[in-house]
Amino acid sequence: MLCVRAACLVSGSINVLMRLDETKLNYDNNPRIHRADRDFPVAYCKMYGKGRVFYSTLGHTPESWDDPDVQKMYFEAIRWALGMTEGSTAPHPKPAQ
């Protein structure tokens, strides 16, 4: 389960667009890791009723907003959320390692 601000989401119910590379994380005695499935989505989209939802953890530092890829991601996400472009919210399985 992925918990974001009191709302818990099962990874199979969201379209994960970007996730952490689990092979690069240190799981040994790390109290901050609570996911047994080691799936850490950092950007996803889903439907909420008739509304479109986009979520991303990127953009916490001022420097990240200077990255053209981050700017384009949020610009396209806003366009998608407003219904100006199409895109699937269908969940898909996590790729095998």
Q: State the pTM of this model.
A: 0.79
1, 8 contact by CB (below 8 A): yes
Instruction: Give me the domain span that covers residue 38.
Output: 2-81
pLDDT at position 9 is 54
Beta strands in 14-80 (DSSP E): 15-19, 41-48, 51-56
66 is a domain residue? yes
72 is a domain residue? yes
User: Residue-wise pLDDT tens for the chain (97 aa)?
Assistant: 444 443 455 657 899 999 988 888 887 888 887 777 778 889 999 999 999 999 999 988 999 999 999 999 999 999 999 999 999 999 887 877 6
94 is a domain residue? no
Residue at 43: amino acid letter:
A
87 is a domain residue? no
69 is a domain residue? yes
pLDDT at position 47 is 93
